[in-house]
Structure 1
Amino acid sequence: MDDFLKVTMNEYLPLRDVVFNTLRQAILKGELKPGERLMEIQLADRLGVSRTPVREAIRKLELEGLVVMIPRKGAEVASITESDLQDVLEVRRALEELAGSKACERITKEELVKLKEASAEFEKIIDSGDLTMIADADMHFHDIIYQATGNARLNQILNNIREQMYRYRMEYLKDYKRHAKLVKEHEKIISALKAGNQEKVRDAIIVHIDNQKKAIEKSLKG
């Protein structure tokens, strides 16, 4: 286990949440590899904590689909499979098509301004090379569209699968050559929303997500 597993204490968070965030980031960034065993004692020693917050963190990671429990072996980092990718992105595409349509009907001028600002911020952040910041900026862009729907239930459902989508988002963003294409895809979504054209919004969202799916599938095949 390498030195990247260091706990950064936060006085506002319980220790179990700090440990959870540390392990989660290590998985999402690929520092803890798919199939790697997560042994409580070793993790607790490395992080300088007791086994209890580690055990609680592993359970929470299992609920998010980032960790799986293997009989007679224990916990290990979940693999990214084409089947899981298909399931997650099918759901995301359907929900984002709906969100795009509703946002097209209800988005305000102020929200359009925020969306343009979020796109510009994303374009600026991609030069940093920090995958976590890039992924968060991408999520912020999409969150503005979700909020513009004015549909609290739809937002709740999207938030429920947010963590599962985040892992695939991170995988896609690891290919830095695709970042410029992402910026253009964001711009097309904004343009369609500004024009109030639901069909173009849906088409732009489908292209955006399908490109992500193709890129990750290519990566999984090596």
Structure 2
Amino acid sequence: MDNRLAPIKLDSYQPLREVVCESLREAIRTGILKPGERIMEIQLAEELGVSRTPVREAIRKLELEGYVVMMPRRGTYVANMSIRDINEIFEIRTALESLSNGLAADHITDEELEHLQRLLVMIGGYIKEGNMEKIVETDIEFHDTMYHAARNNRLVGIISNLRDQLTRFRTLSMSYPGRLEATLEEHRLIVEAIAQGDRKAASKAAERHMENSEKTLLQAMDAMKKKNESKAKSKKKKAEA
């Protein structure tokens, strides 16, 4: 494995294992550590400039989050995400998002509702600017605000874990033609239902949003696969010429 990870800055207020975990999580999300790639504790520790202990602790946490898989006598690998895995995650997340939004319709405060509405305006502005980084950042804040409005900490933790397992695909999905505008409209419908205190409508809006998100992600993955296959064929032709 090439030296691709930046050394950890030791001036963080967080425990070292958490800093290492976030660094590895981000490397997986951004594709620096690729699906199916073997995770070597010693090499990662050297790249990050830390001992093996925080790396080992971080890997265990990432396994619980679904980012890596530990295989007896074979080692640890960056998790591959199959279509079945995605289907299962969305199946569970759809049910939990529906519950969360329904609870938010019952418990949201005026301040939280106002914050959601401001975030929608911000996302709309970032879409016009084409600022994907800010879109993703604000989208995460939007969902976090709704989760906390449900007033169920255990539910927040479970949904966040499921969401994290798909974070590496977020930009791919949002970059799919028309998805950003559709997502913004779906969010508006969710906020409208929550604002009216309509638990049933909020739950249904969440379900539609998740169904559309899954559909778009699978379409984007298929398009990416075809694009990569086309590039590989083109490269092979040039090599044979």
* TM-score bin, normalised by smaller chain: 0.7 to 0.9
Residue 215 of structure 1 and its aligned partner are, at CA, apart by 2.0
Name the structure 2 match of 1:160.
158
Query: 1:17 & 1:97 partners in 2: Cα distance?
Result: 31
Give me the identity figure in percent.
Answer: 40
Alpha-carbon offset, residue 69 of structure 1: 1.0
Deviation, structure 1 residue 125: 4.7
- Equivalence map 1:115-126=2 (5 Å): 115-125=116-126
Query: Is 1:43 aligned to 2:44, yes or no?
Result: yes
C-alpha distance in structure 2 between counterparts of 1:158 and 1:148, whole Å: 10
What secondary structure does 2:63 align onto?
helix
Say whether residues 1:174 and 2:167 are aligned partners: no
RMSD: 2.2
C-alpha distance after superposition, 1:119-163 (max 9, x if no partner): 233344553332xx54442222122222223x33xx323313413
Residues 66, 78 of structure 1: 8 Å contact kept: yes
Judged with a 3 Å threshold, the aligned counterparts in structure 2 of structure 1 residues 15 and 148 are, in CA distance, closer, same or farther, namely closer
Partner of 1:91: 92
> Any gaps of 5 or more consecutive residues in structure 2?
226-241
C-alpha distance in structure 1 between counterparts of 2:32 and 2:49, whole Å = 18
Q: How does 1:188-199 map to 2 (within 5 A)?
A: 188-199=189-200
Change (3 A) 1:120 1:167: farther
Aligned to 2:5: 5
Map 1:19-168; keep pairs closer than 5 Å.
19-125=20-126, 127-130=130-133, 134-149=135-150, 151-152=151-152, 155-168=153-166
- Quote how far apart the aligned CAs of 1:169 are: 4.0
Query: In structure 2, how many angstroms separate the alpha carbons of the residues matched to 1:210 and 1:108?
Result: 27
Amino acid at match of 1:129: M
1:25 is displaced (CA, Å) by 0.5
**1:114 and 1:31, CA in 2 relative to 1: closer, same or farther beyond 3 A?**
same
What residue identity is the alignment partner of 2:207? I
**Secondary structure at the residue paired with 1:76?**
strand
Please identify the structure whose Cα radius of gyration is greater.
2
Report how many residues are paired.
217
| 1:108/1:53 CA distance change after superposition, 3 Å | closer
Secondary structure of 2:39's match? coil
TM-score calculated relative to the size of structure 1: 0.86
Alpha-carbon spacing, 1:75–1:116, altered in 2? closer, same or farther (3 Å): same
In the alignment, structure 1 segments of 5+ residues that lack a partner are: none
In 2, distance between residues paired with 1:140 and 1:124? 15
What letter matches 1:55 in structure 2? R
Looking at structure 1, the residues matched to 172 and 38 of structure 2 have their Cα atoms a distance apart, in angstroms, of 23
Question: Deviations along 1:69-118, whole A, 9 cap, x unmatched?
Answer: 12332011011122222222222111111122222233333221011112
Cα deviation for residue 220 of structure 1 reads 4.2
Distance 1:160 1:36 in 2: 27
Q: Is the contact made by 2:113 and 2:195 (CA closer than 8 Å) also made in structure 1?
A: yes
CA distance in 2, matches of 1:202, 1:159: 19
Conserved 8 A contact 1:100-1:145: yes
Question: 1:95, 1:158 within 8 Å by CA — same for their partners in 2?
Answer: no
- Structure 1 residues 172-220: Cα deviation after superposition (integer angstroms, max 9, x where no partner): 3324232222112111111222233333322221111011111222344
